Amino acid sequence: MKLGDTITMPFIHANRNDSSSSSQKSAIKAQNSIYQDFNRRRNAVRIDRYFILLKSARIKKAISALALVLVITIFAIYIILTRQTFISFANNLKDTMLFSSAEQILSSLWFLIDEPSFFTSFLANFIKDSDIPLPSKETAFDYATILTNSFRASSANIYWWKFGLPSGSLIALFSEETTNYIKWYYAETTPDKLGTLYAYDTDESFQNLSYPFLPGDPEGPYNSTDRYWYEYALSTTHTTWTSLYFSTGFTEPVFSSVASVVSDLTNEVQFVVSLDLRLEYVQQYLKNMLPERESRLAITSSDGFVVAVAGIDEQIDDISTEGIITKTIDQLEDPIWQCVTKHPKFKSIENYTVECEFPTGSDSVDTSSYRIIRSTVVFSERTNWTIHIVLKADEVVQTGLSIYNNQFIISSLICFVVWIVISIIVFILKRYLRAEQTKLLLSKTKKKINHHVKQIGVLQCFTILRNILAAHENNENISNEMNLAVADILSEPENILFNKYEFARSFGNAQVRKKILNIFGIKIDSDEFNSENPNHAEKDEDHSFINPIVFDDEYNLINNFKSNDIFNDKNIEKLNNKNDKNNKNDKNNKNDKNNRNEKGFERERLNDDRSYFIHTNQVNFVEHKAIINMDYNEIINHTLRIGKLMNEAHSVFEENEFERIILEELNKIPQNLFKYCGDSIDLLNLLCTFRVNLMLSDKDMILAMYLALISFHVSMSDRMNDNLLPIRKYFLINIDRIFDVSSDLLERLKPYSIDSTRFKNIEYYVELLVETTPISKHIEIYDRCKLFIPSIFQDQQLKFESIDLIRFTYNVSSVSLLVGSNEFINSNHEALLSNYRGKRDIEGFKNCMKNVYLSKMHATIKQIFGSKFSRSIISVK
């Protein structure tokens, strides 16, 4: 649609009642004005856009409908192809199963026939080629034993085992197809005299010692040369099968596998070997091989008559004469055989499949599918057998014909309905999200923020205090409250975890407290804030001795704090006395930990004595890093020697007992992990030698750090467990274990303490150190040290800050495997994390460790011990 030619009617017309030319000119002028030209074009664009959108919507709908039809078509094609593939696979699997069953039947029948042939050939060739004497009356016992051993090595299918001699004599074994019953037979016949066939029962060892010299049970006259099997063996020069015949003296038809042995020198017959197989046994064997009731098995001879049959309803006696079946296979009155033999491929000895219909009454027909598999067994040049196997193919469940059943259709419909429901839900969610996005974009109102989100910690706390003082620098009450809060934090080093509710309740000034509550988002009527809220409004204490504090830098605030009167001993004593008074007035606030806190800072200070350190005048970083590469005995002796010298410095425990108990505790650490314990103890000795010894207010703190470190490494004895998370291989998460270990160690040392007061000091310090073992408390300890122990305090004896210093020293020593060069740290990572599977998680853990934890620890080491010390200990490889 063109923009200019679409709108031809004017939007402003001339007045029809006014025939003056001015009215018409005015209408034409208005119609041709710039505004009307713009208006025409704008409306034309709108119309064009409307039809474009309409056409686009129709195209989208057509595409959607086409897509739906295409999806349904593809789904139908997929179902059809899946069915065809399934049918093909099922049919192939069915043929494989049927042929496998047929092969199993054929192999069993082949074995039934091959076994007599094998033993016949073996006995004939073995006796001919060996040096043993030929069969005679003198060797009859030996040959009967040979037949017995051969029979017992067979599968007991053979009925008669016979040696026929040219004189007419016989050496034989009779079995009745069972290994538990054997009879020996012997007939001594000469060309001039017909002998008698004697039977000999065998004993438990299947022998008869009277055989053949004493007469056995007579069976009648016998001459082997007159027998059919003997004559048939002489007609050929190799092992062969006879035709079906009746053995003289027995009423059962048999087959015989025969072989004649002829002398190579005289060309005379030496003896004949004959092994008989009963026809009835073959028929019964075939019945046992029948796979199921609807299948059929049959064996036919080369002349077409049935040798054996299985699966028919008729009895053998009904279709046989004296045990021999006198019918061909197509003469059997069995509907399955009649259907199978009518197929044109039956006479060509081929494998085929046939559909047979059987009437079931009431004008209905039952159709079944049968698979016919056949094989020929060559007996001799004149005789062979054909094995017919008829297997019912319908017995193989699921041939692909019933794939479209109710279960399949219902499950397919459920999947289709679920797909439609999910598509509708996705469409609704998209519309909803688009509407919400549009609403947010068009919204001009901003959400009102009632509070700020602030990080919590010592540094953040002092930053907030500085901002409050900056806003109220002329308010003396606020200054006093701030100074009192700083004094409380500094004078209670045991309470290292900042609590925003306790912090807010510590302010007596209502305006300051309200501001703090607003900063931390605490509601003044909340249960958390009012649960232990003291009445600050009634407080009227004298804080005139506290001078205003000036905050210059959040990391070096203590520079100004130190020069303030709040840190004078008198003011601190005054503050402590005031707290004692409040504690006496409120008995419910008493607890053992606060009492120990008050006593902890009034202990007797010992003279500075560094004689127990191994390195007294210098700090040897190279020797320190060599500790981890020593053998086990060297490291344990070095660790024990450090503790022994620490104890000897002030005689806290009896020397021999102390050494014995510490050695017992060190032996609890696995040998493959003891290098980390030795490295930690040596790093503790290194830090104390360099600076910590000069800064501590109580020298018992050093021995307490030694005992706490040993307890830590005993508690970390399972750090090589591959099931642990990476962080648990470096840090202790749960302090229950180390509390138990440290308590047990102190309990064992207590009887051997020389000074009970000193022992209580050490016990108190060990408990403080153990409480800070979990990694969750390390960062705040580092922040407190950065805040309360600036560089200007180096080599100066501390007071309250000693607790923070020993905590820092203890924590750094406990992770000494992370204090060193990158090569040293990476080697320890490799040792601890080599078997951990989550390689990606390990890299993230290492990066977090390096960028967060180690960076803060190195910054604190640098502030307390100096840049030179920090560079030296980190650069040593």
According to the model, what pLDDT value does residue 571 have? 40
Q: Is 255 within the bounds of a domain?
A: yes
Cα angle 552-553-557, degrees, rounded to a multiple of 5: 85
Q: Is 31 within the bounds of a domain?
A: no
Query: Counting every residue, how long is the chain?
Result: 877
219 Cβ partners below 8 Å, 6+ apart? 185, 196, 197, 198, 199, 249
324 and 387 co-located in one domain: yes
Look up residue 161 and give its amino acid. Answer: W
275 and 299 co-located in one domain: no
The arithmetic mean of pLDDT across residues 194-213, rounded, is 89
The arithmetic mean of pLDDT across residues 547-570, rounded, is 37
pTM here is 0.41
254 and 336 co-located in one domain: no
Condensed to tens digits (0 to 9), the pLDDT of residues 605-647 reads 333 333 333 333 344 565 676 777 788 888 889 889 988 888 8
Q: Is 69 within the bounds of a domain?
A: no
626 and 747 co-located in one domain: yes
Condensed to tens digits (0 to 9), the pLDDT of residues 807-837 reads 989 999 898 888 888 888 888 888 888 777 6
Alpha-carbon distances of 643 from 1, 609, 646, 649, rounded to whole Å: 99, 15, 5, 10
Q: Is 479 within the bounds of a domain?
A: yes
Q: Residue 186 corresponds to which tokens in the numbers above?
A: 């012997």
CATH of the domain at 212: 3.30.450.20
633 and 752 co-located in one domain: yes
Q: Which residue has the higher pLDDT, 728 or 180?
A: 728
**Domain boundary residue, one of 220, 255, 280:** 280
Condensed to tens digits (0 to 9), the pLDDT of residues 105-141 reads 888 888 888 888 899 898 888 888 888 888 988 999 9
Q: Is 32 within the bounds of a domain?
A: no
251 and 319 co-located in one domain: no
Q: Residue 865 corresponds to which tokens in the numbers above?
A: 């011990």
The arithmetic mean of pLDDT across residues 481-508, rounded, is 69
Percent of the chain with pLDDT over 90: 8
Number of domains into which the chain is organized: 4
Three-class secondary structure of residue 221 per DSSP = strand
According to the model, what pLDDT value does residue 451 have? 44
Comparing 341-350, 397-406, 858-867, the range with the smallest average pLDDT is 397-406
According to the model, what pLDDT value does residue 446 have? 47
470 and 361 co-located in one domain: no
CATH of the domain at 360: 3.30.450
307 and 271 co-located in one domain: no
Confidence of residue 599 (pLDDT cuts 50, 70, 90): very low
119 and 241 co-located in one domain: yes
* Bond prior to 212 in cis (omega within 30° of 0): yes
Alpha-carbon distances of 445 from 178, 435, 440, 451, rounded to whole Å: 103, 17, 9, 18
DSSP-assigned beta bridge partners for residue 278:
254
The arithmetic mean of pLDDT across residues 253-263, rounded, is 88
Q: Is 596 within 8 Å of 764 (Cβ atoms)?
A: yes
pLDDT(186) > 90: yes
685 and 566 co-located in one domain: no
According to the model, what pLDDT value does residue 273 have? 94
The arithmetic mean of pLDDT across residues 177-192, rounded, is 84
Confidence of residue 4 (pLDDT cuts 50, 70, 90): very low
Could you please report the per-residue DSSP string of 56-112?
Answer: HHHHHHHHHHHHHHHHHHHHHHHHHHHHHHHHHHHHHHHHHHHHHHHHHHHHHHHHH
Q: Which phi and psi (to 5°) does residue 256 adopt?
A: -130, 135
Distance between CA atoms of 684 and 769, rounded to whole angstroms?
14
Condensed to tens digits (0 to 9), the pLDDT of residues 759-776 reads 998 999 999 899 888 887
Angle between helix 632-650 and helix 655-666 axes, rounded to 10 deg: 150
Which residue pairs from 464-473 have beta carbons closer than 8 angstroms and sit at least 24 positions apart in sequence? 464/516, 464/519, 465/551, 466/551, 466/554, 466/557, 468/512, 468/515, 468/516, 469/548, 469/549, 469/551, 470/551, 472/512, 473/548
pLDDT(319) > 70: no
Q: Is 541 within the bounds of a domain?
A: yes
578 Cβ partners below 8 Å, 6+ apart? 541
Q: Is 147 within 8 Å of 174 (Cβ atoms)?
A: no
For the chain, the average pLDDT equals: 75
730 and 858 co-located in one domain: yes
755 and 829 co-located in one domain: yes
Q: Is 53 within the bounds of a domain?
A: no
Q: Is 152 within 8 Å of 206 (Cβ atoms)?
A: yes
Its domain, for residue 308, covers 290-395
Q: Residue 270 corresponds to which tokens in the numbers above?
A: 């030496």
According to the model, what pLDDT value does residue 714 have? 92
**Domain boundary residue, one of 351, 377, 395:** 395
**Domain boundary residue, one of 370, 395, 420:** 395
According to the model, what pLDDT value does residue 875 have? 65
Confidence of residue 281 (pLDDT cuts 50, 70, 90): confident
CATH of the domain at 845: 1.10.1300.10
Q: Is 13 within the bounds of a domain?
A: no
According to the model, what pLDDT value does residue 345 have? 84
Three-class secondary structure of residue 306 per DSSP = strand
Could you please report the per-residue DSSP string of 758-773?
Answer: HHHHHHHHHHHHHHT-
